[in-house]
Amino acid sequence: MIFESLAEKLQNTFKKLRGHGRLSAEDVNAAMRDIRMALLEADVNFKVVKSFVAKIKERAIGANILESLTPAQAVIKIVNEELTELMGGTVSRINIAANPPTIIMMVGLQGAGKTTSVGKLGTMLKKQGKHPLFVAADVYRPAAVKQLQVIGKQLDIPVFSMAEGSNPVTIAEKSLEHAHSHANDVVIIDTAGRLHINEELMQELKFIKDNVHPHEILLVVDAMTGQDAVNVAESFNADLGLDGVVLTKMDGDARGGAALSVKAVTGCPIKFVGTGEKLDALEPFYPDRMASRILD
């Protein structure tokens, strides 16, 4: 389970604190050292860890926790609130266009779970009464187009595609005409992924962005890749400007560093998490619930 090791370590730290009754400054310092280590071992970005622990310490001193009747509880409450804040505070939703269709562009590296996430988002939006259109703009891998068509068929969601070799910008533009004439109120564009970030990929994504003006650009990253996921998010955000992140494979045993670092490092909120291979395994990301999952 994700966060398993981090949760265990933090819970141990708090158990030690609770065992002390009244706390000394040294008890609190020791707890801060433990928290710092636990976060680093969970693959949280080191700058994020540093400022996180500094903030907890500052608040603990400010709240005069040593004088508190239940000092351990007071520390836990602060850690819970700061973990929630670190992950974005409140749930972030996608931008819905005032005049449909809402255009969502999905970007990411190959294997992150982008095409599956297109399917999952379509499932979620359809349940909300929307009429999505999927757009197969990954022209380099015929298998990707096929994969999206299979998913579309399974979900009874139409898939817009063009002949092999078509230009992805043209595909995206034509798909909007199709959406207008078929009353699709959400258009989800599945863009090409590559194994690594490169100039060509970014240029293509920028062209699509500049021509179709998406309301939402979502980056799909794999939670299992830890800090790599955060670095990928940083690059995509710098080049393209992201509205949010979909963090996939949260059902695996990722240490959790990506979930805890993405917002702080990039400023982009995690909007959804993928929790399985099935097409309904997508959930909005609730920072407070995630923090409680780590601490309870």
Which amino acids are annotated as binding site, given as ranges? 108-115, 190-194, 248-251
Tell me, rounded to whole angstroms, the distance of Cα 164 from its chain centroid: 31
Q: Which is nearer to ligand GDP, 2 or 74 (CB)?
A: 2
Q: At closest approach, how far in Å is the CB of 147 from ligand GDP?
A: 6
Q: Which is nearer to ligand GDP, 116 or 184 (CB)?
A: 116
Residues 259 and 93: their CA atoms lie apart, in Å, by: 17
* Strands 186-191 and 132-137, bridge-based pairing: parallel
Q: Which is nearer to ligand GDP, 120 or 209 (CB)?
A: 120
Position 259, amino acid? A
First to last CA, the chain: 14
Contact call for residues 119 and 279 (beta carbons, < 8 A): yes
Residue 92 binds ligand GDP, judged by CB under 6 A = no
* Strands 186-191 and 102-108, bridge-based pairing: parallel
Q: At closest approach, how far in Å is the CB of 212 from ligand GDP?
A: 20
Six-digit token string for 153: 């068929």
DSSP H/E element including 160: strand 159-160
Residue 249 binds ligand GDP, judged by CB under 6 A = yes
Q: Which is nearer to ligand GDP, 9 or 114 (CB)?
A: 114
Annotated binding site for GTP: 108-115, 190-194, 248-251
Q: At closest approach, how far in Å is the CB of 111 from ligand GDP?
A: 5
* Strands 270-274 and 244-248, bridge-based pairing: parallel
* Region of 69-77, 86-94, 276-284, 285-293 interacting with ligand GDP (CB under 6 A): 276-284
Q: Which residue has the tokens 């240490």?
A: 255
Q: Which is nearer to ligand GDP, 251 or 288 (CB)?
A: 251
Backbone angles phi, psi at 45, to 5 degrees: -50, 135
Closest CB to ligand GDP: residue number: 274
Q: Which is nearer to ligand GDP, 102 or 275 (CB)?
A: 275
Residues 189 and 122: their CA atoms lie apart, in Å, by: 11
Rounded to 5 degrees, what angle do the CA atoms 37, 40, 45 make?
A: 145
* Region of 96-104, 167-175, 258-266, 268-276 interacting with ligand GDP (CB under 6 A): 268-276
Binding mask 106-145 for ligand GDP (x = CB under 6 A): --x-xxxxxxx-----------------------------
Six-digit token string for 181: 């004439």
Size of the site for ligand GDP (CB under 6 A): 18
From candidates 13, 84, 261, 275, binder to ligand GDP by CB under 6 A: 275
Residue 67 binds ligand GDP, judged by CB under 6 A = no
Strand order across the 244-248 sheet: 159-160, 132-137, 186-191, 102-108, 216-222, 244-248, 270-274, 282-284
* Region of 7-15, 46-54, 104-112, 257-265 interacting with ligand GDP (CB under 6 A): 104-112
Rounded to 5 degrees, what angle do the CA atoms 272, 278, 284 make?
A: 15
* DSSP helix/strand/coil, 63: coil
Q: Which is nearer to ligand GDP, 74 or 107 (CB)?
A: 107
Binding mask 173-202 for ligand GDP (x = CB under 6 A): --------------------x---------
Binding residues vs ligand GDP (CB under 6 A)? 108, 110-116, 193, 248-249, 251-252, 274-277, 281
